[in-house]
A and B are shown apart, each in its own frame.
Chain A
Amino acid sequence: MSKTGIIIKREYFIRVRKKSFLIMTFLGPILIASLWIIPFFLAMNSETKSRVLVVDETLMEKEGVKSSLYLHKFKNNKELIFEYGYDIQEAQDKLSQGDYDAVLEIVSTTDMPPIKGFLFFSENEPSLSAQSEIQTQLSNILKDHVLTYDYGMSGEDLEWFNNPKIGFYSKDIRSGKDSYKEIKTFLAIISGICIYMFIFMFGAQVMKSVSEEKTSRIVEVLVSSIKPVQLLMGKIIAVGLVGLTQLLLWLVLSVVIIGGLKTISPQTFTEPQEENITINERVISVDKVGEMASDSSQVNQVIQGLFSINYTLVILMFIFYFLTGYLLYAALFGAVGALIDVDTDAQQFTLPITIPLIIAMVCFPIVINAPSGGVAFWLSMIPLTSPMVMMMRIPYGVPVWEIATSMGLIILFIIFCMWLAAKIYRTGILMYGKNITYKEIWKWFKYNN
C-alpha cells in the first residue's frame, strides 16, 4: 500500500468508528425525511387567500341578462375568492399582471351538459386544499344542475359529477413556459444547504485533525516518514470519503425511513383521502389543450416538474460542486489547522475562510429570487462561493458558458489553493510555541522547504 493509502486508511476508519459518526448517520435521515415532509404540509395548509377569476365560455347573454350553469355559483371561503369574467385573453392578461392568482376556465364544448372542459391556470402551484375545494364546488354545482334537468345520462357520465376532472396548470404565462418554481426552489435550497453543511462540517474536521497532529507533536515523526503534502492529501481524501460514506448512508436510510412511514401512515404522503379524490382519477383530456393535459394532479405535477428539470445535469453538477467545494475548503481549512498551536487564537485565521461561506449563505434568498441576477451571477463565478450558489442556480437553468466558466475557474482556484495550502502546511506544522502572524506567513513564500 502506498503511504498516502496508509494515511487514508487510518484517517478514514478512525472517523467512521467514532460514536459521533454513528449518531450523525441516524440523525441525518430524520432531518432529510422531515425536509421532505414539510412541503407537503405547507401545500395542504396554505392560509393565504387566492383570487380566482372564473372565465365561463358557456356564458350566454339573453336580453341583456347573463346566465350560465356556473355564474355566481362558486362560494368564497377562507382560501378562495371567486370573480367572474368571460374573455379568456383578458383573463390571462390579468393573471399575468398579477390582478388574479388563478384563472378557472370553463371551456365550451359541444357536449351536453358542458361539463368536460375545466382548466385551472395559476402562477404558482395551487395548494392541495384549494384543488379539492374547487373540485368539490364544481361537483356540487353539477349535481344541482343534473338534479334539476334530466339529461338521461349513463352511469359513466354520472361518475363525473362526483369527480369533475380539472386540468391544473401552474403556467408561467409571462414567459410562456412551465416554471415549476416551487420544486426548483426546493431543489436549489436543498442542494445549496447540503453543500454548505458538508463544507463546514468536514472542512472543520480537516482543520481539527491537522491542528491536533501539530499540537500533539506527532506530526514531526510523521513527516520524517512521509512528505507533508502526502499527509495533507491523505487526510483531505479520507475525510472526503467519510463525508461521502455518510451521505450514502443517509440516502439509504432516508429511503428506508420514508418507505417505513409510508406503510405506517400513507395519508401523510398522498392527498387527503376524505375528499374522495384520488390522484389518478383526476385526468382530463380536453381537445384544446390535448398534449398538455396529461396527469396533472399536484403530486403528479411534482414528478412532472422534476422531469422538466434536467435531472442528469443537476446530479452531475451536484457531485461536481460537492467535491470541488469540499476540496477547495478542505485545503484552506488544512492550512489554517497548521497555523493553530495550543495557545494561538484560531479566530484570526478561520474568519477569512468562513466569511465567503457565510456570504453565500446570506445571499441564498437573493439567488432564489433572481437566479439570473447580478448577485447570483457573480457569486456563482467566484470559486469561494460558486459551489453553493451555482448549485442553487442550476435547477432554474443556467447558460452552458456560465457553467463551464464557473467550473473552469473553480478547478484553477483549487490548484492554486492546494499549492498555497501545501506551502503553509509544511512550514506551519513545525512552528511550535510561536504566534504566527500574517506577515510571517507571507515570508514563508519567499523561501523553499
Chain B
Amino acid sequence: MIIFSTNEVSKTYANHKALDKVSINVEQGSVFGLLGPNGAGKTTLIRIINQITAPDEGEIFFMGEKLRSEHVYSIGYLPEERGLYKKMKVGEQAIYLAELKGIKKVEAKKRLEYWFNRFDIYSWWNRKVEELSKGMQQKVQFITTILHEPKLLIFDEPFSGFDPINANLLKEEILALKNKGATIIFSTHNMESVEAICDSIALINKSKKILDGRVDEIKQRFKKHEFEIILPKEEDISNYIFEGTELIDKETNNNFQVSKLKIEEGRNAELLSRIIQNTDIISYKEILPTMNEIFIDTVSNE
C-alpha cells in the first residue's frame, strides 16, 4: 500500500527551478531513500512534505488523502541542520516539542522517560542543552522526532554527526521503527547506509527525478553481467574463456586465483559446465553494482 506520494510536484524559486515534476511513491512500512547530489532539490522536497513550503504545482497525498495541516501530527522530521534551544533544559524542551506535535504534557513525560532511559541520557533531564555533547544533543533530537509515534518519519542525513557506535545504534532504532510499522523517508549521501536499510530509492538530480524503484530491482537493472570466480591456484581461467566472455581482471594469491569476468547474458551455464568438468569451483557469484556506482554513473551520465 502506498502511504505517501507526490504527483508531478514542481517548485520554482525566484531564480531557479528547485523541483521539476517530481513524482515519488512510498510504500507503507518501507524505508525510502531520497538520493541526489547537493543542491538537487532534496531539501525542497522534504520541506514540501513537511508543509514548510508549498509546491507551485502538483499534488501530494498522505494516507490516501491530500496532504493537509493536521497531518503534521503523523509526521516526524529530523532536519539536516539540527538544533535545539541551547539555554533551555533538556526535559522541558522535549516536552515543549512534543506538545507542538499534539501530545499532552503528562503523556509526553511518560514517553520521554522511556526513551531517555533507553538511550541512557535520563540523568541529563534537568541540564541545559548547551552542557550536552553534540552526540547527546543528537540523541535528544532523535527522541523528540519520534516521540509522537508518527506514521511517516523523515530523516535528513541522519547519520551525520554521529560516531560509529551511535550511528549503529541509530540504524538499529530506525529498523526497529520500521518493524513497528513506521514508514521512513530518508535523505543521505551515505550509500552504504542506503544498501543497509533502504527498500526503495528515488534519485534526484538537477531538480528532476532521474531514477526510482526498489533497491534490489535497480541493482538488477544496472547489473553489467559481471561475475567473480575463484579457482584453485593451479588453474588458469584463461583456459576456459570462449567467445562472448571477457576477462576483466585476474589475480593469483597463495591459495586461489580470483578473476572477474564479463559474460554474455544466458551463457553462465556454458562457462560453468566447461570448468566443472576439469576442476573444482571454490566460489562463483554475480557482481551487482553498488548503489554508489549506480549513483555516480547515473548522475554523471545526465
Q: Which residues of A contact B (CB under 8 A)?
A: 1, 3, 6-7, 10, 14, 212-213, 216-227, 430, 432, 440, 443-444, 446-449
Q: Which residues of B contact A (CB under 8 A)?
A: 12-15, 47, 50-54, 56, 69, 72, 75, 77, 79, 81-86, 88, 96-97, 99-101, 141, 144-145
Nearest A residue (CB) for B156:
A220
Q: Beyond A221-B83, A224-B77: 8 further Cβ-contacts under 8 Å?
A: A6-B96, A6-B100, A7-B100, A216-B83, A221-B77, A222-B100, A447-B12, A449-B53
A to B CB contacts below 8 Å, 14 in the list: A6-B100, A212-B85, A216-B85, A217-B81, A217-B82, A218-B84, A220-B77, A224-B52, A225-B72, A226-B100, A430-B47, A447-B56, A449-B53, A449-B54
**A to B contact number (C-beta, < 8 Å):** 67
How many Å lie between the Cα of A435 and that of B278 in the bound state? 71
A126 CB → nearest B CB, Å: 56
Residues of B within 8 A of A221 (CB): 77, 79, 83, 97, 141, 144-145
Nearest A residue (CB) for B78:
A221
Whether the Cβ atoms of A3 and B81 lie closer than 8 Å is no
A423 CB → nearest B CB, Å: 13
Residues of A within 8 A of B100 (CB): 3, 6-7, 222, 225-226
Whether the Cβ atoms of A223 and B52 lie closer than 8 Å is yes
A425 CB → nearest B CB, Å: 13
B149 CB → nearest A CB, Å: 15
Residues of A within 8 A of B13 (CB): 447
Whether the Cβ atoms of A443 and B50 lie closer than 8 Å is no
Nearest A residue (CB) for B87:
A14
Contact of B14 among A6, A213, A216, A444 (CB under 8 A): A444
How many Å lie between the Cα of A10 and that of B95 in the bound state? 11
Whether the Cβ atoms of B52 and A14 lie closer than 8 Å is no
Nearest B residue (CB) for A226:
B100
A284 CB → nearest B CB, Å: 64
B152 CB → nearest A CB, Å: 12
Pick from A218, A223, A224, A440 the residue with the most CB of B within 10 Å.
Answer: A224
Whether the Cβ atoms of A446 and B14 lie closer than 8 Å is yes
B50 CB → nearest A CB, Å: 4
Residues of A within 8 A of B56 (CB): 447-448
Whether the Cβ atoms of A6 and B72 lie closer than 8 Å is no
Whether the Cβ atoms of A443 and B15 lie closer than 8 Å is yes
Contacts A220-B83, A430-B47 given; does A225 touch B54 at CB 8 Å = no
Nearest A residue (CB) for B43:
A430
Contact of B69 among A10, A227, A430 (CB under 8 A): A227
Residues of A within 8 A of B50 (CB): 223-224
Whether the Cβ atoms of A432 and B81 lie closer than 8 Å is yes
